[in-house]
Structure 1
Amino acid sequence: MQETIYDFWRMVWHESTASIIMVTNLVEVGRGLSLSEMPSRHRVSLLAIVWWEGTSSVFLTPADSCTPGRKGKVTFTRISVMNCKLGSEAILPMRVCSAELCLWDFGERTVEQVKTLGPRGGWYLLTTGTTWGSLPLSQLPARGALRAEYTLDAGMRMCARKRGTGSWDHQLITRYDHQAPLPPAVEEQWPAALRSKVKCCKYWPDDTEIYKDIKVTLIETELLAEYVIRTFAVEKQFSFPALGSLAASGYVAPSWLLIVYFPLFSPPGCADGRQRGVHEIREIRQFHFTGWPDHGVPYHATGLLGFVRQVKSKSPPSAGPLVVHCSAGAGRTGCFIVIDIMLDMAEREGVVDIYNCVRELRSRRVNMVQTEEQYVFIHDAILEACLCGDTSVPASQVRSLYYDMNKLDPQTNSSQIKEEFRTLNMVTPTLRVEDCSIALLPRNHEKNRCMDVLPPDRCLPFLITIDGESSNYINAALMDSYKQPSAFIVTQHPLPNTVKDFWRLVLDYHCTSVVMLNDVDPAQLCPQYWPENGVHRHGPIQVEFVSADLEEDIISRIFRIYNAARPQDGYRMVQQFQFLGWPMYRDTPVSKRSFLKLIRQVDKWQEEYNGGEGRTVVHCLNGGGRSGTFCAISIVCEMLRHQRTVDVFHAVKTLRNNKPNMVDLLDQYKFCYEVALEYLNSG
């Protein structure tokens, strides 16, 4: 809370804390809302979700007759709804799902009169994907309107993830569980459903802030894919009365401290409990884990385990206790503390005791580890940590370690690197049929090159640009880099019938680089999907050739792409990097040096053209081993640049959490280490 910020920093100072652990986001979506983040400058399609049994036709009043403001304009008149029951999927014909729409001011909206249709009566929700707080609300939601994911040609399954938080960056419709309300109830119910909840106030400055006698200055911010590290200089002018009684009575600070726990004892070096007129500056780091979703637990523990290890490595052992907080200081806070304690216990004693650890925490604070889901997640995290161990290697030790890892044990005829790869395969999640339900829909079968290489629903980049009768599915998956969430989009080489979907993907997700790791081969349905000169049109997307350059094993081509249906959006420059040094008959590239050069050229283009913010599309024949190898090596090179460490296991495990076939061969796994060594040799 705003009024307790000073108390927070005062506690941090008195406890001589050097590290603050934050396991929440400032704002999270309430359970009645799914935050929607649509790409800017985009045609937004409308969607109607209804509660209805049987086949019927739904007539909707155009939104342009509503209250003036930033109004929308609806161009269709009817939506046919087939077999749409509460909690089921609504099948909506795509031809009617198109309209140009601007946002309304939320505070100025009114509710249209709703027609009653059928014997049960029907209340209908007409909405679009917009950011929270501005929603075109022209009609009342259905009784239990479906929590659904926006699709162009069908409704809808739910997935949610936003960069750095818990929501996707494509359109969503929220779940709304109230019984069908009467029109007067709308004013009370919609605001509650639409608001995000402030979970924690921003208690740190962007530059410098003074909280009474404590001055806090932000020195550095390090943004990573799943967490942020902020470094502060904190200074205070001491003028305290005697506070030595607690220390004199034998008080010992715990190794961690909740933000609600506020014992006071004298600062270090203060034998009599007094400090008068002392000016001191301390460096304090805040470790902010952003990868925890708004609800539930992370899909996998890999990111949180890396976060815990980062905290341990950067927290001085001589400093005071860690300050750990989420929003309530209970569920997520308890998870972090238990995992931290159990990792130490496993290393020190070779055993863990999660049950009694949670019991002990709950004896000191209620609801520590709040849900069964969190309790199970702790077990999963500790299991993964014990099976995998700490696989990071300082840059100075990589060469000698890799040499030792390749030594064969004459008794087992195995090596350490083989065992590491076997462990990686063992802890790689297996995708279930229900995980890939969208890719397995009958209408999407012809868009998949291999039915055993499918993207999970939670990682899909849904296409947004409207293109006739085409759906919004593409066989692709979003992947994190070391520093940027969803930095890579891994996909298959476009099929003849998915070339236009490929370019829709590039445009919709602001991609500035395309990396091609296979050959054009019409016999394998791998067509040339780009123009050698002039302009190719793929649906509404225009792809214009600009230039090409050949340098050793890399052909780089620059294209100008834009949506011909929306010329006001301008164009985007995209560079394609076709790597020639990986023949189809080889498991790994011919040259480590050439592959490292490819990585560096892509990084340079990304940084120069878009400040490193654009995404990179990576494709091979099936969007598997080769694409994963590129992404893994790119992550490892980022690690070396920023941390001077190598963790190939962690890089590949992170990719496989989203797509299990990433880096699927032992030789490719070894190649990641070898390119890391090449990177170190090249300076």
Structure 2
Amino acid sequence: MKRRRKPLGDRVSGENQALQIVDRNVSLRQGGERQEGMYINIARASRQSSSDTDDVIPSRLSTKEPGTDDSNTYYNSFEILTTVKIEELKDYIKRKQVNEGLHSEYKTIPYGPQHPTTIAQKKENMPKNRYKTTFPYDHTRVILQPTPGSPHTDYINANLVDGFEKESCYIASQGPFKHTFTDFWAMIWQNNSRKIIMLTNLMEVAKVKCDKYWPEGGKPIVLGRLIITLQTEKERAAYVTREISVEDKKTKEKRNIIQYHFTAWPDHGTPDPLYLVLFHKHVISDHSDVESGKLLVHCSAGIGRTGTYIGLDALYEEGRVTGCVDIVKFVKKMRYSRMNMVQTPDQYVCLHYALLEAFTMTDTKIGKDQFGTIWREIDIDKQPINHQKLYKEFKMLEAKKSEHGKSEYTAAVSPENIEKNRNKSVIPSDNNRLFLTTYDKGRTDYINAVQAPSYTKFVGYLTTQLPLPDTKMDFWTMIRDHSSSTVVMFINEQTEAEFVYATSEDTFSCGSFTMKITKREKVEFDILSCTVVLSRKDEKSREIVIYCAVCSGYPKPSVLCKLVNMISTRVSMSHDAVTVVSGDGAKNCGLFCTFANAVSSMTIDDNADIFQLARLLQLRRPEFFADFDEYRLCYEALNFYLESTNVYANF
């Protein structure tokens, strides 16, 4: 059954005719002067949000039809030009964000139901809709091939969406229910979809957002005439990839489908654009050996996160081909096909920053087979440092570093906490600091520590400063509260270990904690190992293993490799976060975490992108990698690791 569609040129007429204007000076300045030198914190600006629910229409946004009288809304009567050249996108966003201009621009886009949804609201179809306010439009809905002898089986809550110069290349869908699994997989098979983009977790804020529509490994499920089998699953910090085989029982035809499950979208707000862009980059660079059909994208309701991703994918292609993007026009285009795509103002802002990130991202990924050659080129480069390729990469890392205003460090600089910081210039921001939950009387929830991602877990490390005499109790509280069973310490001399544990006694106490040392040993490469049993009244005791690397400056590549080898088994067995300690909580901490993540990347994906791995850590603590020598050492250590051992660390 074919669906009736208006000609492409007529679908957005009346909304975008004025966008043919080409006077860029009028459109981009919009009555204001260019403001040079303003720095916009990309990650922070995109994350600040009140709520990001995929099922509730924000009351503050207009739901009027085009042409209604609203002094704050521009429709057919007047339209400003919204086409932006790629090289001008950064300045465009800066100007727009001065007075929340992107939020204002978002309000000009028609919101709410704009076209009939008759089929979706039929009595027999209502149980198939996850939310009472989100229905597919009749004119673009995905029409399933009806089951013979079964009426009312052609409906699913999904729409076909046009991309850049491609009709109906996307399917925007809600997350399926258990009772719609058969319909969901039938849609995938019918449209020859080979890639699924999933942008929600199964549960968020104790609510079911999507039912698990894929099987466990080795346990196929049968849905209608299709047999679904999970073949492989690879977990990374912000997403999971699953290879799924689908077989038609009758024809015996088999297809391989890859699901890309983005798991880092926060319950409230939007993700850091860098995470979203790296995820998108993985999807588009993952070329299947079979011809791909329509790209299926879903979240929970299939409008907010789904619209943001489709917007990123299509507009990135538009910008790559034409050198320009028109974000307003494309959001309107998506909303012609499915209601409320890009559901909130913050998602709209996130889309802008994600596109800026995508267009300015350089290819710094290095394959395992090429790494040795690349390192040798770095090592023999004797040009003045300013001309060296790796130094230029480091300066680019510095330029992209996140910055926070003074107002974002209220906890760290408060009177009760300020003296808990060894280095007053290395403190955690309010958004990234780690909280204590069971602190003793007279203490606060503050510790100078931040959570950081490993390659496979969003919270893989707890990075913190060497405790002060007054904060030793806070350190052990953090270990207890965040269930860390492995500690890696970088200390200048052996006596500094006293700040964490007693080096000469077998039993010692700290606040409400009692610690018993059950094992001490000196490992090669100036690494000390200590096993501590941590106890607290009325709580189960736990075993903590501490590795201390004694080095006056930066550790040698051999020391970094040895530490990674020693903790890899513990981490794979416990899945706990590793605590990483250094004098100020920045120097050597960022180095170790980035190096360990690069080793894992080589293991899982046969490549590593040290530049982007470092950036992801700097989102949490900008002070990581304060100088070039530390950054260069990460490359040197990874080369040493690849030359001296098989890549087997997996954490």
TM-score when normalising by structure 1:
0.65
Q: Does residue 595 in structure 1 map to residue 560 in structure 2?
A: yes
The alignment partner of 1:511 has SS state of coil
Change in 2 beyond 3 A, CA 1:314/1:479: same
Once the two structures are superposed, the pairs formed by residues 240-279 of structure 1 within 5 Å of their partners are: 278-279=251-252
Deviation at 1:627, TM superposition (A): 0.7
Deviation at 1:311, TM superposition (A): 1.4
Letter in 2 for 1:205: P
Letter in 2 for 1:22: M
Change in 2 beyond 3 A, CA 1:313/1:388: closer
Contact conserved, 1:395 with 1:646, CA < 8 A, in 2? Answer: yes
Distance in 1, matches of 2:406 and 2:261, equals 34
Deviation at 1:413, TM superposition (A): 4.3
1:35 matched residue in structure 2: none
Residues 549-576 of structure 1 show CA distances to partners (whole Å, capped at 9, x for unaligned) of 212224333333333312xx32211111
Contact conserved, 1:633 with 1:676, CA < 8 A, in 2? Answer: yes
Distance in 2, matches of 1:599 and 1:564, equals 30
2:247 matched residue in structure 1: 235
Runs of 4+ in structure 1 off by over 6 angstroms are 406-412
The alignment partner of 2:302 has SS state of coil
The counterpart of 1:546, out of the listed 513, 518, 526, is 518
1:399 matched residue in structure 2: 372
Distance in 2, matches of 1:527 and 1:613, equals 26
Deviation at 1:24, TM superposition (A): 1.2
Gaps of 5+ in 2: 1-176, 647-651
1:537 matched residue in structure 2: 509
Distance in 2, matches of 1:593 and 1:466, equals 38
Distance in 1, matches of 2:369 and 2:497, equals 45
Residues 128-178 of structure 1 show CA distances to partners (whole Å, capped at 9, x for unaligned) of xxxxxxxxxxxxxxxxxxxxxxxxxxxxxxxxxxxxxxxxxxxxxxxxxxx
Q: Does residue 564 in structure 1 map to residue 536 in structure 2?
A: yes
Change in 2 beyond 3 A, CA 1:345/1:514: same
Q: Does residue 307 in structure 1 map to residue 317 in structure 2?
A: no
Deviation at 1:457, TM superposition (A): 2.2
Letter in 2 for 1:379: H
Distance in 2, matches of 1:321 and 1:401, equals 38
Q: CA RMSD in A?
A: 2.3
Change in 2 beyond 3 A, CA 1:410/1:495: closer
2:152 matched residue in structure 1: none
Deviation at 1:487, TM superposition (A): 1.3
2:211 matched residue in structure 1: 201
The alignment partner of 2:417 has SS state of helix
Distance in 1, matches of 2:379 and 2:359, equals 23
Distance in 1, matches of 2:491 and 2:566, equals 18
Residues 299-323 of structure 1 show CA distances to partners (whole Å, capped at 9, x for unaligned) of x212111211221233426221221
Change in 2 beyond 3 A, CA 1:17/1:375: same
Deviation at 1:410, TM superposition (A): 6.9
Once the two structures are superposed, the pairs formed by residues 493-532 of structure 1 within 5 Å of their partners are: 493-520=466-493, 527=499, 529-532=501-504
The counterpart of 1:638, out of the listed 596, 600, 606, is 600
Contact conserved, 1:407 with 1:416, CA < 8 A, in 2? Answer: no
Residues 420-459 of structure 1 show CA distances to partners (whole Å, capped at 9, x for unaligned) of 2112111111022232222122111121112211112233
Contact conserved, 1:490 with 1:623, CA < 8 A, in 2? Answer: yes
TM-score when normalising by structure 2:
0.68
Residues 599-655 of structure 1 show CA distances to partners (whole Å, capped at 9, x for unaligned) of 111213333xxx141221111110012111000001000001110101001110010
Residues 380-416 of structure 1 show CA distances to partners (whole Å, capped at 9, x for unaligned) of 1122222232321211122333445578697994222
Distance in 2, matches of 1:364 and 1:281, equals 31
Deviation at 1:28, TM superposition (A): 2.1
Letter in 2 for 1:284: I
2:612 matched residue in structure 1: 650
Contact conserved, 1:439 with 1:454, CA < 8 A, in 2? Answer: yes
1:3 matched residue in structure 2: 179
Residues 162-201 of structure 1 show CA distances to partners (whole Å, capped at 9, x for unaligned) of xxxxxxxxxxxxxxxxxxxxxxxxxxxxxxxxxx432222
Change in 2 beyond 3 A, CA 1:376/1:528: closer
Contact conserved, 1:407 with 1:415, CA < 8 A, in 2? Answer: no
Distance in 2, matches of 1:360 and 1:312, equals 22
Once the two structures are superposed, the pairs formed by residues 167-246 of structure 1 within 5 Å of their partners are: 196-206=206-216, 207-238=219-250
Distance in 1, matches of 2:319 and 2:583, equals 43
1:659 matched residue in structure 2: 621
Distance in 1, matches of 2:323 and 2:299, equals 29
Letter in 2 for 1:9: W
Deviation at 1:210, TM superposition (A): 1.2
Distance in 1, matches of 2:575 and 2:497, equals 32
Contact conserved, 2:386 with 2:392, CA < 8 A, in 1? Answer: no
Q: How many residues align?
A: 466
Gaps of 5+ in 1: 30-195, 239-277
Most deviating of 461-470 and 289-298: 461-470
Distance in 2, matches of 1:579 and 1:676, equals 18
Identity rate, percent: 31
Distance in 2, matches of 1:3 and 1:604, equals 41
